[in-house]
């Protein structure tokens, strides 16, 4: 999430009641979790295992729970609970705003776009030209939708990321401040759910087509001209490259890449990255031909056992 105006390290320290190290006038331009950080962003780290990764990341301000020196050109905020204070900053700079209208007065809707009855459109939503938004679609705040997009009934765009920290007393939710961006000529089926980024963007590329009941997790990037059949589920921070096809009920794990023009057959499970231009099947997936051979061999096992006992 980019801030509307830069904020100094001194100001953030005052908001949090935290000690800081670095230039007091060092500027923070955005707030991002570690997977999406860019130059000028603040990120947080609360586990020694990830201190070095975060300190050496593109983030130029680090919210951390140990006393360390600020790397060259960076600012440090020292907190007893970085996760809590990160959420505090998100709530300050992008607070939840209740809506009194089904279509926010702050939404921008392009010429020729049709909004069917029962659609909810939140604050600061942008919808392009010649779109069709079917009944009972919900589009959360800050979503961006291109031209000639079709969204079928009951779909939800921009719900919160599924992201929690385990505490002794239960789960602590990480507040979402990202967006969903849907490019031109996308069609999204009925009852799909596309979560916003935790702090960055969940992106659906140009010309991509979704069947019904598809779920896309936070911060996932889906490329151009991708095809997904019913009940595909994609976890957070995945990258689905251009022209990939995922058939029905494929499950895709987090933090992986499916390469360009890969095809994954129905009911497959994808636990790790896949090379593009190949056909896959199974759970866990393998190249389809090899998986089919394995299945054929498995079917022969009872006969082989009988043959062994007869001999």
Rounded (5°) CA angle 65-40-82: 20
Q: Which residues are catalytic?
A: 218
Is-contact 254 242, C-beta < 8 A? no
Is-contact 263 281, C-beta < 8 A? no
DSSP letter at 93 equals: H
Is-contact 94 101, C-beta < 8 A? no
Residue 304 has a CB neighbour count (10 Å cut-off) of 10
Q: What is the rounded distance in angstroms from the CA atom of residue 186 to the CA atom of residue 20? A: 45
Q: What is the rounded distance in angstroms from the CA atom of residue 248 to the CA atom of residue 177? A: 31
Q: What is the rounded distance in angstroms from the CA atom of residue 252 to the CA atom of residue 275? A: 14
Q: What is the rounded distance in angstroms from the CA atom of residue 109 to the CA atom of residue 121? A: 10
3-state SS string for 192-209:
CEEECCCCCEEEECCCCE
Is-contact 202 180, C-beta < 8 A? yes
Q: What is the rounded distance in angstroms from the CA atom of residue 294 to the CA atom of residue 311? A: 25
């Amino acid at each position: 999430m980019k801030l509307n105006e830069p904020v100094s390290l001194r100001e953030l320290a005052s908001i949090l009641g935290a000690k800081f190290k670095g230039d007091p006038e060092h500027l923070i331009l955005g707030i991002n979790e570690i997977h999406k950080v860019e130059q000028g962003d603040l990120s947080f780290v609360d586990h020694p295992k990830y201190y070095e990764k975060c300190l050496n990341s593109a983030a130029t301000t680090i919210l951390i729970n140990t006393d360390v020196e600020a790397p060259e050109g960076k600012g440090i905020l020292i907190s007893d609970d970085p996760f809590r204070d990160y959420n505090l900053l998100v709530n300050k700079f992008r607070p939840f705003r209740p809506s009194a209208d089904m279509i926010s007065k702050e939404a921008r809707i392009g010429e020729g776009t049709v909004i069917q009855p029962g659609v909810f459109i939140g604050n600061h939503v942008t919808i392009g030209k010649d779109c069709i938004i079917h009944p009972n679609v919900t589009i959360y705040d800050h979503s961006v939708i291109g031209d000639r997009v079709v969204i079928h009934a009951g779909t939800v765009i921009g719900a919160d990321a599924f992201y929690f920290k385990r505490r002794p007393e239960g789960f602590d939710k990480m507040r979402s401040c990202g967006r969903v961006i849907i490019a031109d000529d996308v069609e999204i089926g009925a009852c799909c759910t596309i979560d916003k980024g935790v702090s960055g963007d969940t992106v659906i590329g140009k010309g991509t087509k979704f069947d019904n009941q598809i779920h896309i997790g936070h911060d996932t990037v889906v490329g151009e001209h991708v095809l997904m059949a019913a009940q595909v589920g994609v976890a957070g921070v995945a990258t689905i490259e251009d022209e990939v096809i995922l058939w029905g009920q494929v499950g895709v794990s987090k933090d992986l890449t499916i390469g360009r023009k890969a095809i994954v057959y129905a009911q497959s499970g994808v636990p790790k990255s896949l090379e593009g231009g190949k056909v896959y099947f199974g759970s866990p997936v393998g190249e389809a031909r090899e998986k089919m051979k394995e299945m054929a061999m498995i079917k022969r096992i009872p006969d082989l056992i009988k043959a062994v006992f007869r001999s």
